Structure 1
């Protein structure tokens, strides 16, 4: 009886050993397969089985390996630096059911320590990564020792690469390096099932059949004398230890208990039976209620697609601010559900039966928290993250910032100090007589330096908030974070005007030596004239007059604001004495941070941003707020981190003017 099915399987791994080493050519021989039976775990049948590789040129696709396949570091293949060397062309040979190859190691500096360890015998294990195109599944006779009842014989398989590994035998975990990567690539494999309840001797009789030849039908068992049991040797001890290690790692991986438990059991030399008990204890602790998670059919499970997440996020945004976010056709289904209903929907969409689950456990699943050995698909954390990002950005953009009218925006590549040069005017042109030579001139330079810094906070969305449907409180916190980031920028920029920091020449920004500090006065025709005069007599670094014109008058709300608007108002004078000379001359910037509670309010004048008197900088590619999320540790829920990279500095005092004001 025979039937065939197609399954998608990952790249698998087998252990091998290093042989002779040639120091001069940086090559060494490896025994990369013996084809021996190893214990595996079924991908689709939830069973253990024995896997056997048919080591025969007719059953193996050796073209890729024989044409210079890579020699990798522990099956890693995401970066070029993972390649340690190469399988030498044409070095593959099959002898007595074993596969040998010659490896040539790279001469790169970072590979040198590995080469030294190989020569010293410190690194001696290798593993081959291979793909199986066809398995023959043969049922064994009933077993009384609890072992596998099926043998999978790889009659068509393809080695892809050879790797240096720390632990030589890991058949249980399978060394499925490709499946551990983000793409989790799978490959079709045909599995042909032979007859059931066949004697094990019948299986052994077909061990040499090839990929294309049919299995012998009803091959009679051949009685064989029981072999003598050899005395334990070093290789037997190593094989037994490899089997223990692989079995423990298989148990922990199968039940999603992570590598920490497996590594601890292996390091303590725990037996396989004791390891099974430890795994059961760990499962009991992870699921104290003994609840079984029922999964929906595979075709009904959610895929975590972006369209679904966007629709739910839009619905939450509408609930939080209906006047700002209309209900879209895509989000109408979710628009009037509570947060708990949306969380339950996301969990069920991921394939979890929530009928008998309390709200607190559903909340844990929705937020990606581990429960009873199952991990959610991450839809709900991604949905909340989208809501947080949109809310933060909207609040950040909506918060007024007035400094853009008088300061210059730039981006910087990193957090190192940024040098801004103040360059004097070009040297004067001098007359060149007929036949004379042109002479060199120089430009005087000054320098101001500053660096951006990182600002941020973490906010948490707890399971309690989810269950209580406390959306408005969460929305207010997120909005306040967005506004705080915008206010931080204003605080930094206006602190430059208020704190009067020292410039690169060691003198305060506003100082008589810089010619930009006026005599205390209200905003009148006379004080504006004095301010314009101060700009007019500014000189460059070489002491020559330059043209610097103020564009903005910066004032706090209150008395100063009333004064400047009177000076800029357009009027119909009855005589020349009533003419307003500064009508519509300047733009007014009103800023509450300039209110002085301890004395008279000051007022300032500034040039157009193009002059570059003050710079504010963002990190390139991270302009504004940047957010990310993770399942909480300090918070029993989801944590959202808001980060802001920002900095500012006065670059040239010639573009700024201050008047301390009077009461």
Structure 2
């Protein structure tokens, strides 16, 4: 993977490496990546543009790739966002998906289509560093961590082991469509492309093997992507492609594609020549700015001409960037090691990771880390006051400080969700819905029995009535802000405590909805309440062996009617006793006793309900006054009792941030999409408790 050169050190370009076309009635939202990922335009801008075009609302997305790769961290930022989408995603390799482009081709929620004459390339992370032996060992470890992320993406797509993928990464593996399908990367191999795909940068600037440049020559000279035309205008404009000269409508001569060995050899030879030219440039400059030289050497997308421009800019720059205490300034896959070190520092302070002993950013305040996210990447901040400097750390393209804070807040949110003391998930049914439309569920009584099929007779379709219980998703969420003042004041609580408590509140919201169903006793589709005498699932009596046994018998003898009008027992066994906290000890004593409570010692009267169900005490059942005596029986988890459905099965809260003009900082939104509804009365029983 090509480490990214610092944004200020790359010559500006009028061309973008992506285009985004909004969805129409007849076309999906389309994302076209035809260039170097992260080239002049950050992943954050890509994500902002994609959101503006309806990325998170789209139901169908088409991604077209023709890229030699690019920035590792920008690529993974895009990968992580796209991986979390619920839309149907189809990915097409129009010419080449190399390096970081191959990772985007391996989205776990995407279907990859690849022509026979397209190419997919995977390899180990590349980079360069300067410093002493310890610095270089640290850098090698950093590259290993990047490789671990690649392995996760590739193994998840192919099903191969890490050892198998590692063997493929080491020699820079090039695969055509058929080979990629055989190795498990591709879902569908499609016909070879006759049309041409247009790279937004000249192929000689991308350090592409010359054999592959020749193979892609027609594409690099103005062909258009073979996508179905989209009527919507692109959300992000790109420089117009050069108009191709008219050509006769005839098939091009078929040439044999180069072998993988040829591609590898030419690629390495070309890379050696590029590095030699860059080293000569810096030697003529007195071997100054060696950190910049390391960046240029490590970034496969930096040409000698670009390295020369970057060197001249660095030599004339008035502001000297601050560096860590040991003087090492290591540029790596995400531009430099600054982002990883800052993230590790904050994670350690937040208690989500162990502190790294050699991290020079340990013990820095949030304000100092915000400054380092800029200054240690070459952005001069000496003239800015603290408010301006912190604001720039959120918005500057060279800084990923905002994304680091978002990651920390997300971990805190999930920790709050996991640690919330809730009981509903122990006994309810977990489900999923794909949209916010009202859906109907079929209860356990809808299929009483199967009909006999006589020899030679046809099977008959079952008729499901229109009486299923309804369930519908709703969105629950809140906003909170991480302000510049909080960063300046080093208020880590605003970053950790608030999202953690919001995670707990999100889970509590679902619990409120579940237990409201039990206590409010809503009507079902038959027009009768969930607990109703006609449903034979309600009784009276204080908590005792007799009342528990009566409720158990009601549930065990629940019936449904067959098509012939006969009743069939469902034999539903209670698995849980749901009680107010005030009755918890009594319930455990009754159910856990070997003998009948109250009987004489050693009377020999065995408790018939011993351990017949698990006791779940829920404080919501006590009521506001704490005097409620109602208790319930519920069938085993997953039965048709009460369903808790989540949008596309995502059963944790979602968090996102946006810089706004209404506050000095970033607004953070926490939301969860869930629906709660009763499914069937037969798996539940209630006692009034008196």
The answer to whether 1:175 aligns with 2:239 is: yes
Corresponding residue of 1:523: 543
User: In the superposition, relative to structure 1, how do residues 442 and 456 fare at CA in structure 2: closer, same or farther (>3 Å)?
Assistant: closer
The answer to whether 1:611 aligns with 2:639 is: yes
Match of 1:463 among 453, 475, 484: 484
Corresponding residue of 1:343: 370
Corresponding residue of 1:627: 655
User: In the superposition, relative to structure 1, how do residues 600 and 633 fare at CA in structure 2: closer, same or farther (>3 Å)?
Assistant: same
Tell me the TM-score normalized by structure 1.
Answer: 0.52
Shift of 1:345: 0.6
The answer to whether 1:424 aligns with 2:486 is: no
Give the 3-state SS of the residue equivalent to 2:387 in structure 1: helix
Match of 2:517 among 483, 496, 499: 496
Matches within 5 A, 1:560-571: 560-571=583-594
In structure 1, C-alpha distance between the alignment counterparts of 2:331 and 2:459, rounded to whole Å? 80
In structure 2, C-alpha distance between the alignment counterparts of 1:307 and 1:591, rounded to whole Å? 49
The structure with the greater share of residues assigned to helix is 2
> Does the aligned pair in 1 maintain the 2:581–2:622 contact within 8 Å?
yes
Corresponding residue of 2:222: 160
Give the 3-state SS of the residue equivalent to 2:581 in structure 1: coil
Query: Which string of whole-angstrom CA distances, capped at 9 and with x for unpartnered residues, describes residues 173-232 of structure 1?
Result: 993779xxxxxxxxx99xxxxxxxxxxxxxxxxxxxxxxxxxxxxxxxxxxxxxxxxxxx
Give the 3-state SS of the residue equivalent to 1:647 in structure 2: strand
The structure having more radius of gyration, on CA atoms, is 1
In structure 1, C-alpha distance between the alignment counterparts of 2:378 and 2:458, rounded to whole Å? 82
In structure 2, C-alpha distance between the alignment counterparts of 1:443 and 1:536, rounded to whole Å? 26
How many residues end up aligned between the 2 structures? 394
Match of 2:676 among 644, 648, 657: 648
Give the 3-state SS of the residue equivalent to 1:642 in structure 2: strand
Shift of 1:450: 0.8
Give the 3-state SS of the residue equivalent to 2:608 in structure 1: coil
Shift of 1:500: 0.9
> Does the aligned pair in 2 maintain the 1:405–1:552 contact within 8 Å?
no
The answer to whether 1:579 aligns with 2:601 is: no
> Does the aligned pair in 2 maintain the 1:403–1:493 contact within 8 Å?
yes
Corresponding residue of 2:130: none
Shift of 1:614: 1.6
User: In the superposition, relative to structure 1, how do residues 381 and 579 fare at CA in structure 2: closer, same or farther (>3 Å)?
Assistant: same
> Does the aligned pair in 1 maintain the 2:410–2:655 contact within 8 Å?
yes
The answer to whether 1:318 aligns with 2:341 is: no
In structure 2, C-alpha distance between the alignment counterparts of 1:652 and 1:591, rounded to whole Å? 21
User: In the superposition, relative to structure 1, how do residues 568 and 177 fare at CA in structure 2: closer, same or farther (>3 Å)?
Assistant: farther
Give the 3-state SS of the residue equivalent to 2:469 in structure 1: strand
In structure 1, C-alpha distance between the alignment counterparts of 2:456 and 2:521, rounded to whole Å? 50
Corresponding residue of 2:246: none
> Does the aligned pair in 2 maintain the 1:556–1:593 contact within 8 Å?
yes
In structure 1, C-alpha distance between the alignment counterparts of 2:659 and 2:545, rounded to whole Å? 62
> Does the aligned pair in 2 maintain the 1:395–1:483 contact within 8 Å?
yes
User: In the superposition, relative to structure 1, how do residues 309 and 399 fare at CA in structure 2: closer, same or farther (>3 Å)?
Assistant: farther
Corresponding residue of 1:660: 688
Give the 3-state SS of the residue equivalent to 1:458 in structure 2: strand
In structure 1, C-alpha distance between the alignment counterparts of 2:585 and 2:641, rounded to whole Å? 26
Corresponding residue of 1:539: 559
Corresponding residue of 1:36: none
Match of 2:623 among 580, 584, 596: 596
Match of 1:387 among 408, 419, 436: 408
In structure 1, C-alpha distance between the alignment counterparts of 2:606 and 2:200, rounded to whole Å? 90
Give the 3-state SS of the residue equivalent to 2:360 in structure 1: helix
Shift of 1:592: 1.1
User: In the superposition, relative to structure 1, how do residues 315 and 505 fare at CA in structure 2: closer, same or farther (>3 Å)?
Assistant: same
In structure 2, C-alpha distance between the alignment counterparts of 1:606 and 1:555, rounded to whole Å? 11
Query: Which string of whole-angstrom CA distances, capped at 9 and with x for unpartnered residues, describes residues 276-299 of structure 1?
Result: xxxxxxxxxxxxxxxx994759x9
> Does the aligned pair in 1 maintain the 2:406–2:656 contact within 8 Å?
yes
In structure 2, C-alpha distance between the alignment counterparts of 1:437 and 1:379, rounded to whole Å? 68
Between 1:568-577 and 1:609-618, the stretch displaced more is 568-577
Corresponding residue of 2:97: none
In structure 2, C-alpha distance between the alignment counterparts of 1:438 and 1:160, rounded to whole Å? 59
Shift of 1:544: 2.8
Shift of 1:161: 6.0
In structure 2, C-alpha distance between the alignment counterparts of 1:582 and 1:174, rounded to whole Å? 73
Give the 3-state SS of the residue equivalent to 1:534 in structure 2: helix
Shift of 1:361: 1.8
User: In the superposition, relative to structure 1, how do residues 536 and 162 fare at CA in structure 2: closer, same or farther (>3 Å)?
Assistant: closer
> Does the aligned pair in 2 maintain the 1:418–1:449 contact within 8 Å?
yes
Shift of 1:536: 2.8
The structure with the greater share of residues assigned to strand is 1
Shift of 1:498: 1.2
In structure 2, C-alpha distance between the alignment counterparts of 1:529 and 1:174, rounded to whole Å? 73
CA RMSD of aligned residues (A): 4.2
Give the 3-state SS of the residue equivalent to 1:327 in structure 2: coil
Give the 3-state SS of the residue equivalent to 2:568 in structure 1: coil
Shift of 1:304: 4.3
> Does the aligned pair in 2 maintain the 1:12–1:177 contact within 8 Å?
no
In structure 2, C-alpha distance between the alignment counterparts of 1:317 and 1:548, rounded to whole Å? 48
Give the 3-state SS of the residue equivalent to 2:530 in structure 1: coil
> Does the aligned pair in 1 maintain the 2:336–2:377 contact within 8 Å?
no
User: In the superposition, relative to structure 1, how do residues 576 and 337 fare at CA in structure 2: closer, same or farther (>3 Å)?
Assistant: same
Give the 3-state SS of the residue equivalent to 1:315 in structure 2: helix
Matches within 5 A, 1:9-48: none
Give the 3-state SS of the residue equivalent to 1:551 in structure 2: strand
The answer to whether 1:366 aligns with 2:393 is: yes
In structure 2, C-alpha distance between the alignment counterparts of 1:306 and 1:300, rounded to whole Å? 6
In structure 1, C-alpha distance between the alignment counterparts of 2:498 and 2:480, rounded to whole Å? 8
Between 1:445-454 and 1:338-347, the stretch displaced more is 445-454
Query: Which string of whole-angstrom CA distances, capped at 9 and with x for unpartnered residues, describes residues 531-590 of structure 1?
Result: 0121133111444322111110011211x1122112112336745564322111110111
Corresponding residue of 2:179: none
User: In the superposition, relative to structure 1, how do residues 308 and 429 fare at CA in structure 2: closer, same or farther (>3 Å)?
Assistant: same
The answer to whether 1:352 aligns with 2:382 is: no
> Does the aligned pair in 2 maintain the 1:405–1:609 contact within 8 Å?
yes
> Does the aligned pair in 2 maintain the 1:295–1:353 contact within 8 Å?
yes
Matches within 5 A, 1:35-114: none
Structure 1: 5+ residue stretches without partners: 1-6, 14-42, 44-77, 83-127, 135-157, 165-172, 179-187, 190-291, 369-374
Corresponding residue of 1:549: 573
In structure 1, C-alpha distance between the alignment counterparts of 2:478 and 2:413, rounded to whole Å? 12
User: In the superposition, relative to structure 1, how do residues 633 and 498 fare at CA in structure 2: closer, same or farther (>3 Å)?
Assistant: farther
Matches within 5 A, 1:326-337: 326-329=354-357, 332-337=359-364
> Does the aligned pair in 2 maintain the 1:129–1:160 contact within 8 Å?
no
